[in-house]
């Protein structure tokens, strides 16, 4: 039986700060490609963080997780 998986891909200005934030929420860093990181919770949720220095910050950024 296949395991369900959901993946969100988010642009971010600061990979280190974003990674630390999501690790505090319980995700772990699975892969680090320098400008692109993959985190997961071990239950099928995956978060991809893509470094984009010009990305607007909230509330001007249309991308987000709620």
27-63 pLDDT, tens digit each: 999 999 999 999 999 988 999 999 988 877 767 777 6
pLDDT value at position 33? 97
pLDDT value at position 5? 85
Q: Strands across the sheet with 28-32, in order?
A: 6-12, 45-51, 36-40, 28-32
Q: Which domains are delineated in the chain?
A: 6-51 (3.10.180.10)
Angle at 44 between CA 61 and CA 26, to 5 degrees: 65
pLDDT value at position 66? 61
pLDDT value at position 39? 97
Collapsing DSSP states into helix, strand and coil, what is residue 59? coil
């Amino acid at each position: 039986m296949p395991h369900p998986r959901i993946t969100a891909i988010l642009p971010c200005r600061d990979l280190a700060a974003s990674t630390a934030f999501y690790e505090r929420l319980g995700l772990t860093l699975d892969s680090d490609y320098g400008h692109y990181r993959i985190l997961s919770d071990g239950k099928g949720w995956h978060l991809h963080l893509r470094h984009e220095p010009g990305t607007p910050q909230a509330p001007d950024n249309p991308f987000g997780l709620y």
